[in-house]
Chain A
Amino acid sequence: MALLQIAEPGLSAAPHQHRLAVGIDLGTTNSLVASVFSGTAEVIRDEAGRALLPSVVRYRANHAEPVVGHEALAEQSANPRDTLSSIKRLMGRGLGDLGDLGDLGDVDNIGDMPYVFVDSPGMVSIATVAGVKSPVEVSADILTSLRRRAESALGGELTGAVITVPAYFDDAQRQATKDAARLAGLNVLRLLNEPTAAAVAYGLDNASEGIFAVFDLGGGTFDISILKLSRGVFEVLATNGDAALGGDDFDQRIYAWIVASAGLVAPGPHAARRLLTLARNAKEALSTAQTTAITATLADHQAVCLTLSREKFDELTADLVARTLKPTRKALRDAGLTVQDVKGVVLVGGSTRMPSVRASVAEYFRQAPLTDLDPDQVVAIGAAMQANALAGNRKGDEWLLLDVCPLSLGLETMGGLVEKIIPRNSTIPTARAQEFTTFKDGQTAMSLHVLQGERELVADCRSLARFELRGIPPMVAGAARIRVTFQIDADNLLSVSAREQSTGIEATVAVKPSYGLEDRQIARMLEDAHGRAEADMKLRMLRENQVEGRRMIDATEAALAEDGEDLLSPPERDEIARHIYALADIIETGDGDSVKILKAACDALNSATQEFAARRMDAGVKRALSGRRLEDLGLTAVTG
């Protein structure tokens, strides 16, 4: 006999048509799955009644099924190389990116991972006894475990799932998450930003209105989102954060303190794992206790017997707590708001249980943060509510969810500059179009380079895709009209199309991002953009002037080739050529300070060609009046 759930009035499903949908919070440290039971979103617990599934997978030899969760975590110190944790940090990353991740903080956690990294195409992988595993496969194993848990709890196959990702995940990381879900046999209804999911959970339960901040300090990532809630409609005004700051970093601080205080000499991978587990336990204990004891005897008979006080812990981690405030200030600034506008602060993520974090948030926002829902579960609960709505178990259009794209998207233009098409923090789904034109006379193809990032120069942004539009009819430079459309779907995945307006020829690229190949640390990209705004602006001016200079040279050379012989004397031609060479020389050797010199050279060429331009105009008018050209054309037509 099947078990029934209570439905909303008029919404009971016909037999065999229950649409089972779940929300999954695929976390760095822990993952959860939740679903809606009789109108209430609840986290699904395992047989032992535990809600959290540690995001840890232990691989075994001889094709044995991998062990996921608590069992894998318990055996982590015994099998450090084959027990993979915090794998979310590697999603969509290449080996070259790992250094970047580490030195963003002064603790090089990635470098401390006791794994054998293998650089495979696109994404870093890890060699285990069960073969080489990519972060996508490891995530898929975690998702499979959650899917099985959900299916046995709901008594049937899942229609779909909503999976949450940090707001800072770029397209490569989002795509990697989707791939992992597919590998785990899950139909992804959509990806949802974690803070947005938390807002869903809070907004609907409490029916609050106003501006809210979602402060999410998880195991490996920090996100701050500024949201506007009104009559059940959510709008994300701005997001910011630090993709490499989380509870793991606090563990590392305690770990380093243990190693230093106990005078340990180079702990091996086993000992390191053991001590990290102790560090994590100590951190958790200090959320309620004032002091905690850390005792262990390591395999090489080195002993640890320490007491850590909350004051000492706060001192060790004060800078980590402080690092959360910079992105918070930026997000508020992006939203055009001040601390006074924020009506409430929602805490998400287990790390917000730390008293020092709560105190810091309360001090900054000048109010006590909201903690009604379990900070570990709030994201999964919001995702479950969204999944339930998307699966059709809820009357539609009751609430609308607006999300934003975390980084600007744009196109490369002449001079290695980036033209932003979709600005950062635009609500999605969205589509924006802009017209571009050709640079050279008779240009028949155009190369389009899609970029992500806040900087002005192509070299400083992240390359997402390149494609070509061919078959543009030959025209003079600047006459072609090419409409480029950027479209972001609800999952924050991008497609770009270019269309030549007169002929209708079109080229499209769906951005299948090359996993993190040229990826930069997202948080750093944003910080760089702010820190170097002025230098970027100067460079942009220089590049724009260089492009203008080249355009002038091209135009002058074309005019010389056409009418130079007829309209100019040899000395006049030499004079113009001299200015062309001077300008070309400045463009080639130009640096940031030469904008003035460049402008002067452009002006010089301009005035040197003024007489020539006037003569050409006269000649053109004469030709047109005499109609000689038209006759020529007519004769050609008859004889040809």
Chain B
Amino acid sequence: MSVTLTENAAKRVQTFLAKRGGVGLRLAVKTSGCSGMAYALEFADCADKDDLCFESHGVTLLIDPKSLPYVKGTELDFVREGLNEGFKFNNPNVKNECGCGESFNV
């Protein structure tokens, strides 16, 4: 089971990386937030030696081994909701999340 990007998300990430530089996108899960876990999405300047790498539509996704169990099979999408646009996690592991969706539980 890996983690993937939708084509739309990959395009956006590539645009950002082209402007900013960096080796890829780091996806992590932190134990915080009102419902247990929270996602973190950061630019990656280098890969750590424990990192797991996934390639998706030409973008390198870096995930630390501790985070991986929480996000296995997740698809990262880039969506537009009205004027608001940003990244959305389609995570099959999630059992419930807080009302705002910023944090979740497995």
Contacts and interface: CB of A to CB of B under 8 A. Distances in A.
Q: Are A and B bound to each other?
A: yes
A16 B43 contact: no
Contacts of B20: 39-40
Interface in B18-40: 19-20, 25-26, 28, 30, 32-34, 38-40
Contacts of A10: 42
Contacts of A180: none
Nearest to B79: A3
Interface stretch (B49-57, B64-72, B96-104): B96-104
B43 to A, nearest CB: 6
A11 interface: yes
Contact of B87 (A3, A46, A47, A155): A3
Interface in A107-128: none
Given A16-B33, A16-B102, A153 B83 contact: yes
A9 B44 contact: yes
Given A14-B32, A39-B20, A40-B20, A4 B87 contact: yes
A373 B54 CA distance: 35
Most buried by A among B25, B32, B84, B88: B84
A7 B88 CA distance: 14
Contact of B81 (A3, A12, A45, A47): A3
* A6, A11, A152: most-surrounded residue (chain B CB, <10 A): A6
Given A12-B42, A152-B83, A6 B88 contact: no
A239 B31 CA distance: 50
A15 B38 contact: yes
Contacts of B98: 15
A18 to B, nearest CB: 8
A538 to B, nearest CB: 59
Nearest to B85: A3
A638 interface: no
Given A14-B32, A149-B83, A4 B42 contact: no
A16 B34 contact: yes
Contacts of A3: 79, 81, 84-88
B84 A155 contact: yes
B41 interface: yes
B97 A11 contact: no
A44 B32 contact: no
Contacts of B88: 1, 3-4
Contacts of A47: 82-83
B45 interface: yes
A10 B42 CA distance: 7
A6 B44 CA distance: 10
B10 interface: no
Nearest to B26: A9
A1 B84 CA distance: 12
Contacts of B84: 3, 152-155
A16 B100 contact: yes
Counting chain B CB atoms within 10 Å of each CB, the highest count among A3, A5, A11, A39 belongs to: A3
Contacts of A44: 83
A86 B17 CA distance: 40
Interface of B: 12-13, 16, 19-20, 25-26, 28, 30, 32-34, 38-45, 79, 81-89, 97-98, 100-103
Given A5-B41, A6-B13, A15-B100, 9 more contacts: A1-B97, A3-B84, A3-B86, A6-B16, A6-B87, A7-B41, A11-B42, A40-B20, A153-B82
List 3 A-B pairs, minimum CB-CB distance, nearest first. Answer: A3-B86, A1-B101, A15-B102
